[in-house]
Structure 1
Amino acid sequence: MIASITDRIYTNKSKNDTLLLYAALFVIALVYLSTLSVNHSEAEDSLYYLMDISRGSLADQVHPNHILYNLINFLFLNFWKLLGYEGGPELPVKLVNIIGSLFSLLLVYLLATGLRFHIILRYFCVFAIAFSCGFWWYSVECETYILPIVFVLLCLRQLMQIQIEFFRPANHLLLAVFYAIAILFHQQHALLGVPIIISYFLIFYFHRDKITPKVFFSRIILYILVCSLLVLVSYFIVALLVKRLTTYDQIANWAQGWMNKRPIKLGYWSIGSTVLGSIGFLRTFIGGHFLFSFESFSNFLQKNLPSFMLKEEIFLVRDLNLFQSISLSLASLCIVLALIWIIINISKARFLTRSMSCETDSDRLRFFITLLLLYLLTYSLFNIWWEPQNVEHWISIVPASVLVFALFTNRIIHKLEIKVGIIIIAICLFFVNLIGSILPQTKQYNDYWYVFNSWFIENCNAKDVVLSGSGVISDGYVKYYSEAKVISIFPDPDDRPIEKKFQEFLHYQKPERILFSSTVYSPPEEYRQKFDIDYSAANGFFQRSRTYLTLLHCDSWQEIYLYNKDR
């Protein structure tokens, strides 16, 4: 009878926990749906993905850096259309990201539960990740960085299972499948192979009395073979059947994606890149856009970082008043002070003590924190080397960072002041990012490049061609919103100057109107500082074309000319 009552209490508690979790995820979903992004300046590739998904062929859906992302969204969008949907691609694509975010948060909760986190810490992990600026912003955007996190977390969860049940081949097969899918969603997650392989050897070393070398090597080879085959076969199928590539060199060049367009050079690791990496990492949690509303701060950064396009951030938060900016600064300070207070308390306590419930729990915690630290180290080193200030690349380590913090905090969570500190961090994080970063990006008039190109967006169509020098982000706005063709002064992969691209375009196309932007001869100063490009050729081409140009429109952003030469 006592056992029956105990079982009933446990079952009811489990049901209550499940209902509470679903309620939390439902609230997060509502917040996400009410803060969908309309500002794409931060996620600069999003408009190009949307164009491929909504207007492109099947071959356009398989970008080498993330084969599955466009394809999944392409299928989802067309499924909606079969049901009668007649809107644009943005809503369905954002919904896919939100679904991926919710699954990621569910997996984080399950990991925290498996590690016996206090319930406050379990929900802290969920909310701190959900409302960190990078994770939140890209969950409501049309970008690639959220969906692979689901499979990265499945890999971490599967590795914990392998540590317990190493002998089962199915465990290693599942790990290989999850890892391969993570890579196919984004090549960045090939990095996960480093902590996975090291984890295999750690498991073998600490369980060498049970796991023989024969069993160990058979399992690790099984994992490597399966994930390698899945990734390589996927790339070859896509390259041969979808992209219609015929030679090995063509396939290899295509598969490298951005790496092929940006040759690898050593020397990215430096004090400067480490500082930029630290800023990028911190901004993934606290966006800090509100700081650009302080004129002295924004002027200082523009003066000292001339190659950074900071106008987007400044424009985004120009409507924040002084009271809001100061309040958000104080809330951010509260987050920092609460973190410092908790870290000081952690340093006074031993992370793993003899009070662990059993040796198995202790082994599992040691293994998992080692795995997470390896994961953080691998990704951080790469991010600092590759593009340290880019928030996009740091999003993938947000769940691991929060879980590491929670693992250390779990030993002292019984203290009231620690619980209060955790709650303060979660609440302040939500409001700082909501008011200081997320809400401004839900308004079209805060989108720098949309406003910059508003004349083109309102007056151009698919029969027009625009010659522009305002960069790839700006060009994406003109292409997506107006469907006009864009010829840029920036060199393409074939290194063709703008005049040659223009003449070749006219040879094959017959546009209704040809429009010149004044940015052809006067590109943004930030691009002049950042890119080593000879602008004299574009300027010379513009000057030679002046005879045929009629001023059509002039605003505070640019002058727009109509090209009148007979053709």
Structure 2
Amino acid sequence: MEMKKKDLFPLLFVIGYLILNVIFTSKVFSLSHDSILYFWEIIGRLFVLHPHHLIFCPAMTLGSDTLTNLGFQSTQFAVNFINSIATTATLIIIYFTLKNNLGLNLFTSRIAVLLCAFSYANWFYAINIETYQIPLVFVFLLVYLITKRSLNNIDIILAACFGGIAVLFHQLHALMGLVVVIYLAITGLKTNVTKIIIFTLVFNLVWIVGYAIALYTLGYDTFDKVSYWFFLYHHEVNSWSGFGISFFAKPFVGIIRSIVSIHGLLIEGETNTMLLRIFAGKDLSDDAFIVRNMGAFDFWLYLLIISSLFSVIVYVFISQVSRIRRVFASNSRYFFFVIFMMLYAVFFVFWDPTNMEFWIPQSILFWICFAVLVGKITPKKNGIIIAGGTVVLLFLLNFRYTIQPASQIENDLYHTEVSEAIQSLPNNSIIVYEMEWIAHKYYKIFSPFEFVIPDSLNSQIVDFSFKQYINDMNALGNTVAVKSLVLENQKDIDESELPKHTKVVFGITEFFIFRADSLVKSEQFKAN
């Protein structure tokens, strides 16, 4: 009797992917803007209960504490490692879902996992401090249980618990409850009515209890407080996409950004300008900063790789379009993935559609579909070549233009600014900035400087005068570094009327430097 070969792919993948992510873990906070905020909350042990990702900060604080006690030297690395573990676990769950539940062959299952692993947003957030990867573990545990060939009430209860926990880690996965109910109803309402009731009760109980405990802890006891906190800025008009030409373009941009890095386009001036126009509401200066040292060769190589990648994708979908319906009709469990994709996609067509993080689940489902279609290509040799080529192109594109440069702290725009300021200014300096919470956190964490905002000075000082404030601080021995944009916004100030100053650029940000009287005299003495 022939011995059945062991499937070593899961073990080899876990080892390889984790080693890769450890070596190239992100040291750049600025690309994922919220990373520095979460880092601030975690190192400050603030245990913030944010309504959109309720238990992320407490969980990451406790998790990073555990890892640092075990010998991890850096909190940033510890949190990144937790996200890498979560992403790897999600991909292994996907592998067994495809192989065991959908009955896909080893080739298709492995290719799907590799494509998902190197898909841009999924990989990028696996090595950063962000909220999106941990809930996916629970989402795909739910998917695994719901798509089992034999589904019992225990599976339903466990799936509901995992779904509820996913909601506590990120609010957007409340959609998963609706996905499961629709799937169970369509595939057999009469036979699944008990399962639907059980799932609905347990799923909602888990997240409602979690939020109830949070509300009690926060002391929110009125409807206005609760509703404002729960929805926060979700209700703001600028978060929702209005109808128009851009309505159809924005989701396309979102899904593309979740699959491939766009940083290569920021190398060249004209495409850089085009992207700045497309993303007019977003600051891409930190994105452009990580590719600032790349030249024309890198730009044309980027275009070659990305055009080759999308040519392959288009070829596969066009050549296999006639098979799509037959493939999905061959197994009712495929229908779950269709509902999953459609419900999430439709919601994010309307809400913040250009943000790549909200398309991570859909990008995973996209690559699963792609892998299934590649697996149907005949002769099989052609399918293997196409699949392998796609994995290589996807890896090269995202690694070369984001993952690798993001592993170097010198490519962090704000950290570079702070580092250069530290080298040029005395420790008792005052940094004056506009209302910019990202820069604020960088200066608070990485510098000895005091960080002030003009609006706060206006509210604290009667008859506030910017010129007088600078003179007063200089008289006290403090050097004042004012971001040029702040002075431009002070309509009553003319540069010629300002105290003696110099202009300096830290990173890409220009500052007016007003040195303390004692320092000015000391420098004059040295000069003479």
Shorter-chain TM range is 0.7 to 0.9
> What pairs with 1:319-468 in structure 2 (closer than 5 Å)?
319-349=293-323, 351-352=325-326, 366-412=331-377, 415-456=380-421, 466-468=431-433
Counting matched residue pairs gives: 503
Further displaced range: 343-352 or 44-53: 343-352
2:20 aligned partner, one-letter code: V
Contact 2:45 2:61 in 1 (8 A): no
TM-score (norm 2): 0.85
The separation in 2 between residues aligned to 1:147 and 1:512, in whole angstroms, is 48
Kindly state the Cα deviation for residue 467 of structure 1 after the two structures are TM-superposed: 3.1
Aligned-partner SS, 1:517: strand
- Structure 1 residue 223: Cα displacement: 1.4
Residues 412 and 267 of structure 1: is their aligned pair in 2 closer, same or farther, counting only changes over 3 Å? Answer: closer
Residue 477 of structure 1 is matched in structure 2 by: 442
- Quick one: structure 1 residues 512 and 386, their matched pair in 2 at CA, closer, same or farther if it must change by over 3 Å? farther
- In 1, distance between residues paired with 2:131 and 2:225? 24
Equivalent runs, 1:303-318 vs 2, <5 Å: 306-318=280-292
Query: Which residue of the other structure, out of 162, 165, 168, is the alignment partner of 1:178?
Result: 162
Change (3 A) 1:267 1:103: closer
Q: What do residues 498-519 of structure 1 show as CA deviations (whole Å, max 9, x unaligned)?
A: 4445549x9xxx9995845224
Cα deviations by residue, 1:400-455 (Å, 9 ceiling, x for unpaired): 22122223343336532222111110011111111122112122222223233444
Q: Which residue of 2 aligns with 1:526?
A: none
Q: Which residue of 1 aligns with 2:64?
A: 77
Higher mean Cα deviation, 510-519 or 251-260?
510-519
* TM-score normalised to structure 1 length: 0.80
Give the Cα separation in 2 of the matches to 1:170 and 1:324: 53
Alignment of 1:57-68 (within 5 A): 57-58=46-47, 60=48, 62-68=49-55
Residue of 212, 218, 228 corresponding to 1:253: 228
Q: Which one-letter code corresponds to 1:113 in the other structure?
A: K
How far the C-alpha of 1:229 sits from its partner, in A, is 1.6
Q: 1:552 to 1:239 in 2, by over 3 A?
A: farther
Q: Which residue of 2 aligns with 1:232?
A: 208
Q: Structure 1 residues 396-405 or 243-252, which shifts more?
A: 243-252
Match of 2:510 among 558, 561, 565: 558
| In structure 2, C-alpha distance between the alignment counterparts of 1:238 and 1:461, rounded to whole Å | 43
SS of 2:353's equivalent in the other structure is: coil
Match of 1:534? Answer: none
SS at match of 2:289: helix
Q: Name the structure 2 match of 1:89.
A: 75
CA distance in 1 between counterparts of 2:430 and 2:221 reads: 33
Q: Which runs of 5+ in 2 are unaligned?
A: 465-472, 518-528
Quick one: which of 2, 7, 32 aligns to 2:21? 32
| CA distance in 1 between partners of 2:26 and 2:279 (Å) | 27
C-alpha distance in 2, partners of 1:250/1:236?
13
1:61-99 deviation line (CA, Å, top 9, x unaligned): x222112211111111222344455x4410110010010
| 1:56, distance to aligned residue in structure 2 (A) | 3.1
Deviations 1:317-337 (A, max 9, x none): 122232232223212222122
User: Which residue identity does 2:382 align to in structure 1?
Assistant: E
Q: Is the 1:470–1:519 Cα contact (8 Å) retained in structure 2?
A: no
SS at 1:521's partner residue? helix
Q: Is the 8 A contact 1:155 1:178 kept in 2?
A: yes
**Paired residue type of 1:153:** F
Identity %: 20
* Alignment partner, residue 164 of structure 1: 150
Q: Which residue does 1:517 correspond to in 2?
A: 482
User: Aligned to 2:509, what secondary structure does the other structure show?
Assistant: coil
Which residue of structure 1 lines up, in the alignment, with residue 181 of structure 2?
A: 197
Aligned-partner SS, 2:432: strand
Q: Distance in 1 between matches of 2:280 and 2:40?
A: 31
Q: 1:413·1:419 contact (CA, 8 Å) conserved in 2? A: no
| 1:279 matched to 2:253 | yes
- Check the 8 A contact 1:118/1:413 in 2, yes or no: no
- Distance in structure 2 (CA, Å) of the matches to 1:31 and 1:140: 10
User: Which letter does structure 1 place at the counterpart of 2:185?
Assistant: F
Give, in whole Å, the separation in 2 of the partners of 1:383 and 1:295: 31
* Equivalent in the alignment of 1:532: none
The DSSP-based 3-state class of the residue aligned with 1:380 is helix
Preserved contact between residue 36 and residue 441 of structure 2 (Cα < 8 Å)? yes
> Which amino acid letter does the alignment assign opposite residue 347 of structure 1?
V
1:217 match: 193
Aligned partners of 1:102 and 1:76: how far apart in 2?
17
Look up the SS of the partner of 1:352 in the other structure: helix
1:123: how far off?
1.5
Q: Distance in 2 between matches of 1:399 and 1:224?
A: 25
Structure 1, residues 462-514: CA drift from partner, whole Å, max 9, x if none? 9876431273333332233226564446xxxxxxx54445549x9xxx99958
Amino acid at match of 2:201: L
Aligned match for 1:21, one of 10, 21, 24 = 10
After superposition, the Cα gap between the structure-2 partners of 1:251 and 1:302, relative to the gap in structure 1 and judged at 3 Å, is closer
Q: Tell me if the contact between 2:250 and 2:354 (Cα under 8 Å) persists in the aligned partners.
A: yes
Report deviation, 1:234: 0.9
Residue type at the aligned position of 2:265? L
Paired position in structure 2 for 1:288: 262
